[in-house]
Amino acid sequence: MIGFAEARALVLAAMKPLGREHLALEQAAGRYLASAVRAPHASPRFDQSMMDGYAVRVADLASPSAPDIVAELAPAGQIPAGTVRVPALRPGSAIKVFTGGRLPRGADAVVMVEHTELVGGRVRIDHTVPIGAHIRRAGEEFRRGEPVLAAGQRVTPAVIGLLASFGRRDVAVGRRPRVALITMGDELVARGKSLAPGRIHDANGPALAAALTAAGAGRVKLRLVRDSRAALRRALATAIGSADLVVTVGGASVGDHDHVEAVRADLGIRERFHRVAIQPGKPNHFGIAPGGTPVFGLPGNPVSALVACHLFVRPALLRLMGAEPTPDTLPVRLAEPVRKPAERALFLRGRLEIRGDGPWGVPGPRQGSHMLSGLTEADILIELPAGVTAHHAGDVVLAHVLNQ
């Protein structure tokens, strides 16, 4: 049995990006950049006005006799946004400019229109400004050739807007993994079918398919398999041959009808770990098939399966898509005392509360590994590390953010 941090590190070290595809910008949201992006030109490309107003020379803003007037300048036309050729600004004059419009040569500041007035054919200014006021300088954000976006960065609406501002129509992103999901158990019945005595509906399949899709999987193929070594072997062999990542659920303990470990050995899957010192989720398998396909074996209890999926499978999917998984944790204060065994880390389902002294983690009331209702009400997993038995209210611990 290995610790949580070691298990997660083994998973991430085994994941290699699947490759890239080019998508139109409008289709790329939520994906991850396959390569870094550099600025093809300066941004902004030219000196421009930050707002509507008048372009002036600060040297012309000498106070006349009237105390509430800074200057009276000769109007010399206007420069709407998009104007290609702009005039030069002559001493003693002002040119009307608009937000985003090019700055005339010779101007070194812009006076907001609110501080100007046309009086008797002159531009009256009642507010002085320093050199550079309300001007966006060429190259202020990026110079040509500078790094703009890093490989592995998530494509957000802002990223799409930035790429579009450089004239890009498409972008290279990491390919989404194809995932095969196998749930197993003679007691399981697919949703929509009637239940005989001793049977239950399969909750793990739909829940995990949704979790994998939300994490970025491009296709999730779900299959329900009975408790048979031969049936599981056929299903797992097919999954390995057709998917980029395989997840089995259940059959990972040591009972007479738990066949996962034996079938994995039959198929030559190289085991990296098969027990993790966490609760819920101790019976966790992870290995690599002979062709390189990662294979996860999650516990059968619904909460255990979803927690293990979040802690191990989700970061694996992100790495396969070329992402650099960013920390999904934040420090919180534990809202109530908790005692637990020392040998395992405990992941409590809880809620994040922002109080006057910062974030707090509040454990939920239903912590059983079969109680999905406790997870439906949670937005964090509160990690209480191994090696500690007594945690006190107010202790600072880590919270893993759910529903990302």
| CATH code for the domain in which residue 85 is found | 2.170.190.11
Nearest-Å Rg of the Cα atoms of the chain is: 31
3-state secondary structure of 321: coil
**What is the pLDDT averaged over residues 278-299?**
95
Structural domain of 316: 4-19+176-320
Q: What is the CATH classification number for the domain harbouring 333? A: 2.40.340.10
User: Does 144 share its domain with 64?
Assistant: no
| Nearest residue to 162 via CA among 283, 314, 37 | 37
Domain end among 259, 287, 320:
320
Mean pLDDT for the stretch of residues 302-321: 95
pLDDT at position 130 is: 93
pLDDT score of 255? 53
Q: Please say if the pLDDT value at position 266 is more than 90.
A: yes
Do residues 275 and 312 both lie within one domain?
yes
Single out the residue in 126, 149, 174 at which a domain terminates. Answer: 174
pLDDT for residue 369: 79
**347-371 pLDDT tens trace:** 999 999 999 999 999 999 888 877 8
Q: Are residues 185 and 261 in the same domain?
A: yes
% of the chain residues with pLDDT over 70? 94
Query: Among residues 274, 272, 270, 294, which one has the least CA distance to residue 283?
Result: 274
More confident residue, 306 or 198: 306
pLDDT tier at 256 (50, 70, 90 boundaries)? very low
The Cα–Cα gap between 58 and 302 comes to 70
Phi-psi map region of 292: left, alpha, beta (phi>0 left; psi -120 to 50 alpha):
left
Q: What is the pLDDT of residues 77-122, one digit of tens each?
A: 999 888 888 999 999 999 999 999 999 999 999 999 999 999 999 9
Please write the tens of the pLDDT for every residue from 63-75.
655 566 788 999 9
Pair 284, 247: CB distance under 8 Å: no
Nearest-angstrom CA–CA distance, 388 and 314: 27
One domain for residues 200 and 241: yes
The two three-digit tokens of residue 299, written as one number: 């516990």
**Number of domain units in the chain:** 4
Whether 399 shows a pLDDT value over 50: the answer reads yes
Q: What is the DSSP string of 145-210?
A: T-EEE-TT-B--HHHHHHHHHTT-SEEEEEPPPEEEEEEE-TTEE-TTSPPPTT-EE--HHHHHHH
